[in-house]
Chains A and B, each alone.
Chain A
Amino acid sequence: MDWIRQIGRYIVVMLLQVLFFDQLHLLGVCHPYIYILCLLMMPITLPHSIDLLIGAALGLVMDVFCNSLGVHMCACVLIMLIRPYLLGTIVNDKDRLNEQISLRVLGWEALIKYVIVLVLIHHFCVFMLSAWHWHHLVFVLLSTVVSSIVTISVIFGYNALKYK
């Protein structure tokens, strides 16, 4: 039942991503990838390797929409690898991690650390791989910061609304 809800949320988030956030183009550097909300909020009950495969699949779907085969896949697999270790260092009470990752489980402080670190890694990875040259480093860093701010606010907003 829980997984049907996860898939439903993924479809809604993906529609928002493609229909709204991909069309945003604010200032030329704002391209938030809010679809990683689904990856970040996924429970970590599954085996780690399955998590990695889910990350790869979701990344590949986004790649097809962006004509950038491999870029999002690479970034998503990377954050899915880091995720359990990061949660392990942030959260002291390991028993709480058996349910959906959320504000209720983590609390604001841990959630802020967790989301900011992973979103920054993902966005930097995506922008760097699609630019593919140090020549564009300023553009990449600027895009990463601006887009991450939007993505992070969306994820915080989602949590704040759902678990207030």
Chain B
Amino acid sequence: MQTLLKILQRYSNFLVFIILEVAAVLLMYYNDAYPRSSFLSTANRLIAWQYDQVESVCSYFALKGINEELVAENAKLRNELVRYESLTEDSILSREVIYPENEVVYLPAKVVQMTTNEVHNYLTINRGLADDIRKGQGVRNEDGVVGIVRTVGQNYSVVLPIINTHTNLSCRFLKNDYIATLQWDGKDNRFAQLADVASHMVVNIGDTIITSGLSPVFPEGIPVGIVENCTLGTGDSYYTIRVRLYTNFKRLKYVEVIQNAHQTELDELENGLD
């Protein structure tokens, strides 16, 4: 016993070191696998608030570009509206058919913090539990897919963008509905890789990729990107495809969270199951 205590005393520093390193590795593992705590992330109220303040100063420098994008977006939407209105005028279809009750609701949010140059990138948005944000909701902007909500705090949330090596996104080709999986190799934030495309498919450069709608996260048809180049080595049964993403993550300032219109009902159902 005495010798044991002596040994422990002698190596106590080393013991503390081992315990702390094991704790760090466990934290790393559990944070990747099951992110629970919004307190220990940038969804933390104080930290997100500080980023929010910095962002509100920095955002002045980007206002001109954002205004131009908004004007273009407005014009596009107005044109679409005109088309729909002409439909209601001379149509035997009732208004309810043309304007069905929305299944999804887009909630605008501001990006308060974002990394783009790491292997595991994250972004923080200024919406949280108070705005009915839930883990697993999709996030997009006007150009295309952005990512999936990962940790939700009271007023802020952390989003896992598609430029994070942990993300998998179910996509399809616009031209023939061929389903594939979008992944990111951690290198260039403008490009992602498309997996599971078998060699019998004809892939052309410039093919459009959209979300498949197979998972409840994203509705079908949100733009993802276009095929930049594709290679098929001799003997390979799957293509190596590089996709140029529509979303410019370097300049991401505003996003929209995709929410289910019946979120409260879904919550009640899920709570009832437990």
Contact = CB atoms under 8 A, between A and B. Distances in A.
Interface of A: 18-19, 23, 25, 28-29, 31, 47-49, 52-53, 55-56, 59, 63-71, 73-74, 77-78, 81, 129-133, 135-136, 139
Contact of A31 (B25, B40, B117, B122): B117
Nearest to A67: B122
B27 A70 contact: yes
B193 to A, nearest CB: 13
A66 B122 CA distance: 8
A74 B16 contact: no
Contact of A129 (B28, B115, B187): B28
Contacts of B117: 25, 28-29, 31
A81 B24 CA distance: 15
Contacts of A67: 41-42, 120, 122, 158
A70 B28 contact: yes
Contacts of B186: 131, 133, 135-136, 139
Contact of B42 (A65, A130, A135): A65
B26 A130 contact: no
Contacts of B118: 31, 130
13 contacts: A29-B117, A49-B12, A49-B16, A55-B20, A59-B24, A64-B41, A64-B44, A68-B28, A69-B30, A69-B31, A74-B28, A135-B186, A136-B187
Interface in B151-196: 158, 186-187
Binding site secondary structure of chain B:
helix
A143 to B, nearest CB: 9
Top-9 shortest CB links A-B: A70-B28, A70-B27, A69-B31, A74-B24, A73-B24, A49-B16, A48-B13, A70-B24, A28-B117
A124 to B, nearest CB: 15
Interface of B: 12-13, 16-17, 20-21, 23-31, 40-42, 44, 47, 50, 54, 115-120, 122, 158, 186-187
Contacts of B21: 74, 77-78
A40 B210 CA distance: 50
Nearest to B58: A23
Contacts of B120: 67-68, 130
Given A64-B41, A77-B17, A69 B27 contact: yes
Contacts, number: 91
Contact of B119 (A56, A64, A81, A130): A130
Contact of B20 (A53, A129, A131, A139): A53
Contact of A52 (B20, B31, B40, B158): B20
The A interface is mostly helix, strand or loop, or mixed, namely helix
Nearest to A27: B117
B229 to A, nearest CB: 20
A73 B119 contact: no
A137 to B, nearest CB: 12
A73 B40 CA distance: 13
A61 B118 CA distance: 19
Nearest to B160: A67
Contacts of A52: 13, 16-17, 20
Contacts of B27: 63, 69-70, 73
Nearest to A74: B24
Contacts of A59: 24
B60 to A, nearest CB: 15
Contacts of B24: 56, 59, 70-71, 73-74, 77
A35 B28 CA distance: 20
Contacts of A131: 119, 186
Contacts of A56: 20, 23-24
A71 B122 CA distance: 15
Contacts of A130: 118-120
Given A73-B27, A136-B119, 6 more contacts: A23-B54, A48-B16, A67-B120, A69-B40, A70-B27, A73-B20
Contacts of B13: 47-49, 52, 81
B55 to A, nearest CB: 10
